[in-house]
């Protein structure tokens, strides 16, 4: 029986592909560009273009498309709610009617683009996390935010916090799995009874988990201090980040794609549609 498996979403998948080898700063900036582009996308044909980009990412990262798509799974419910809401509550030309519910042409368009946009957002974010080790990610983020430290913003502490948080997600899943198994083998039952009983039945899971987290936190703090960690102190790097030519090329290529996608969405596809409608 599988009780808790570590999340396949957003977990680093080690590899040596082109995308894995890019500078984390490049990948973070690229993701931000992609997200901006996605917010401007609106038509279904445009999302086909974005899907092609996903195929390209899959080829360049050596990660199977199925695995990449799977990172959208946690938001599937949210997407569904968004789609339904937009579908039912958008005024416009009526397509179908079901009692008090009206489905409109505009609703269908809005719902599909909203849903797709959300999915793509999460999937591209997942792509970033799958190809960037947590260490490299927080390193990159720290460097990107470093101008903020002039404003006394604690960038290196923030990055350290993020590193630790990311590092402990899989550990937490493992520990939860262990606790779950221990309680289930003592007959814990999470399925029967009313809401109150079910909520109560999680106490034997949550209490050990909290105790464990606090213990871990304390151990980690002691270990860090015993190795002379001083918040905000200047540290040199073991593997300094290096921005290479291919990082610039990748970013340039991506920017071009986004501009092209927006152009298609705004003018090209509309023009084609208009042309088709005329014939």
Q: Please say which residue, 54 or 205, places its beta carbon nearer to another protein.
A: 205
User: Residues of 101-117 as b/e, b for ≥16 C-beta within 10 angstroms?
Assistant: ebbbeebbbbbbbbbbb
Please tell me the distance from the alpha carbon of residue 22 to that of residue 143, in angstroms, as a whole number.
15
Q: Please say which residue, 12 or 18, places its beta carbon nearer to another protein.
A: 12
Q: 116 Cβ partners below 8 Å, 6+ apart?
A: 44, 47
- Determine, following the binding rule CB under 8 A, whether residue 13 of this chain makes contact with another protein: yes
Residue 259 main-chain phi, psi, to 5 deg:
-60, -45
Of 2-10, 28-36, 113-121, 236-244, the segment contacting another protein by CB under 8 A is 2-10
Q: Please say which residue, 80 or 182, places its beta carbon nearer to another protein.
A: 182
Compute CA distances 193 → 4, 187, 205, 206, whole Å: 22, 14, 17, 19
Count CB neighbours of 197 within 10 A.
Answer: 11
* Structure-block tokens of residue 102: 């009206």
Please tell me the distance from the alpha carbon of residue 166 to that of residue 210, in angstroms, as a whole number.
17
- Determine, following the binding rule CB under 8 A, whether residue 94 of this chain makes contact with another protein: no
- Determine, following the binding rule CB under 8 A, whether residue 217 of this chain makes contact with another protein: no
Q: Please state the closest distance from residue 185 (CB atom) to another protein, in A.
A: 4
Q: Please say which residue, 164 or 212, places its beta carbon nearer to another protein.
A: 212
- Determine, following the binding rule CB under 8 A, whether residue 175 of this chain makes contact with another protein: yes
Judged by CB under 8 A, the number of residues near another protein is 27
- State which of positions 129-148 bind another protein (CB under 8 A): none
Q: Please say which residue, 40 or 182, places its beta carbon nearer to another protein.
A: 182
Binding site for another protein (CB under 8 A): 1, 3, 5-6, 8, 13-14, 175, 178-179, 181-189, 203-208, 211-212
């Amino acid at each position: 029986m599988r009780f808790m498996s570590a999340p396949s979403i957003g977990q680093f998948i080690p590899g040596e592909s082109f995308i894995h080898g890019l500078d984390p700063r490049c990948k973070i900036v690229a993701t931000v560009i992609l997200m901006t582009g996605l917010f401007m996308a609106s038509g279904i044909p445009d999302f086909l273009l974005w899907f092609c980009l996903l195929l390209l990412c899959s080829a360049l990262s050596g990660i199977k498309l199925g695995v990449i798509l799977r990172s959208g799974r946690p938001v599937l419910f949210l997407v569904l709610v968004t789609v339904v809401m937009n579908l039912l509550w958008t005024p416009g030309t009526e397509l179908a009617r079901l009692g008090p519910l009206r489905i409109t042409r505009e609703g269908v368009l809005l719902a599909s683009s909203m849903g797709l946009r959300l999915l793509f957002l999460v999937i591209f974010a997942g792509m970033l996390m799958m190809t960037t080790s947590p260490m490299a990610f927080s390193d990159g983020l720290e460097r990107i935010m470093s101008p903020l430290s002039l404003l006394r913003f604690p960038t290196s502490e923030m990055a350290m916090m993020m590193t630790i948080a990311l590092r402990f997600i899989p550990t937490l899943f493992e520990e939860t799995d262990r606790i779950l198994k221990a309680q289930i083998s003592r007959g814990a039952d999470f399925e029967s009874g009313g809401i109150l009983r079910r909520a109560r039945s999680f106490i034997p899971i949550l209490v050990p988990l909290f105790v464990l987290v606090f213990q871990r936190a304390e151990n980690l703090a002691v270990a860090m201090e015993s190795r002379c960690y001083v918040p905000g102190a200047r540290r040199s790097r073991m593997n300094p980040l290096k921005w290479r030519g291919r990082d610039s090329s990748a970013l340039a290529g991506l920017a071009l794609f986004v501009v092209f996608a927006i152009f298609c969405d705004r003018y090209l596809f509309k023009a084609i549609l208009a042309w088709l409608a005329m014939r």
